[in-house]
Amino acid sequence: MELINVQNSILPDEAKIVGTSDDRFILANTQSVSYADLKHRCIIPVFAKDNESTISHAEFIDTVGQAADKFFAAEKILHPAIRISHPIKGRIPDAMGKPAEALTEEEKTIYY
């Protein structure tokens, strides 16, 4: 996320303000993914060792965004540039909270 100071400064022309921080991200060996795709597919990463669920990427992005909005209230927070780099084990939304040993093959997912 990128911050633009809107307090006590002259903002550049609206057309020059970028809507995302994507152009400042290391692009090597990664591919872009939209927040909507990440949220609606509801892929929940798990620990590879035992397939226990962790916080979802969308939940993490939401939480950090809310904290940034609160802490930097006078700033304009841009949309995050979300990139992925490797396969992540996951589970379907209906399997959220289910113990790893009880997951069926249809409930397990891989996301790149």
22-66 tens-digit pLDDT: 555 567 778 788 888 777 766 677 787 887 878 888 888 999 999
**13, pLDDT greater than 50:** no
Q: Is the per-residue pLDDT at 11 higher than 50?
A: no
Q: What is the distance between the alpha carbons of residues 56 and 59, in angstroms, rounded to a whole number?
A: 5
Q: List pLDDT tens digits, range 60-110.
A: 899 999 999 999 999 888 888 888 887 677 788 788 888 888 999 888 887
What is the distance between the alpha carbons of residues 99 and 47, in angstroms, rounded to a whole number? Answer: 12
